[in-house]
Amino acid sequence: MTITKSKPIIAAGGLIGVAVLAWLAFGFFGIHTAFIDSEVDQAGPVFDSTELAIAMEDEVEAIDGSGIPGEIITQFSGDFGGEPGYTVEGQALVLNDGTDQRFLRFENFSTNNGPDLKVVLRAENGDLINLGPLQGNIGDQNYELPPGVDLNVYNSIEIYCERFGVLFGSASISPTAV
């Protein structure tokens, strides 16, 4: 029986092939995210006016006697729904404290997990504003909105897989009655 040099080459090629497939599955496609939940539980957002009021509490009380920052109100709200094959649930709320600062808050939120999930605002004409990566596929979370965004125009909140161009679900928001 003669040992040929081709067997070690075939074995090395097979190992390299398995390594490439593993990298594609886990590194590029992110299949492991389908099996792992990422839970968050953030408290309500902290507005700059609240931080300023706390830092200057004595001075504010001396000036007007209140020391209380503006009341936080819900300006817009909507419920999430999933696209076919995906489950997206919870509420999208836009919170404001009477200043220019606004936060998008997800409450009782859950979705399927996936690679490269983003939170985006979409206008009816298709324009997008990317708010960044989804912080977790389960739980309450906050996203600061850029100043000056017209939420009557950008009135759809989407959970979007940027890597593969797949919409998981969305919430249409509308002004809340005060």
Please tell me whether residues 43 and 82 are part of one structural domain. yes
Please tell me whether residues 56 and 125 are part of one structural domain. yes
Reported confidence tier of residue 62, pLDDT bands at 50, 70, 90? very low
pTM: 0.74
Q: What percent of the chain is modeled with pLDDT above 90?
A: 63
- Averaged pLDDT for residues 139-148: 97
Q: In the numeric block, which tokens belong to residue 59?
A: 């001075």
Please tell me whether residues 159 and 95 are part of one structural domain. yes
| Burial track 113-124 (b if 16+ CB lie within 10 A, e otherwise) | bbbebbbbbbbe
Angle at 108 between CA 104 and CA 110, to 5 degrees: 95
Which residue segment(s) compose the domain that 26 sits in?
1-36
Please tell me whether residues 165 and 134 are part of one structural domain. yes
Q: What is the mean pLDDT of the chain?
A: 84
Q: Give the pLDDT confidence of 84-99 residue by residue, as tens digits.
A: 999 999 999 999 998 9
- Averaged pLDDT for residues 149-157: 97
Out of 5-9, 17-21, 43-47, 131-135, least confident range: 17-21
Please tell me whether residues 17 and 43 are part of one structural domain. no
Backbone angles phi, psi at 26, to 5 degrees: -95, -40
pLDDT at 66 over 50: no
- Measured from the Cβ of residue 95, the count of other Cβ atoms closer than 10 Å reads 20
Please tell me whether residues 70 and 124 are part of one structural domain. yes
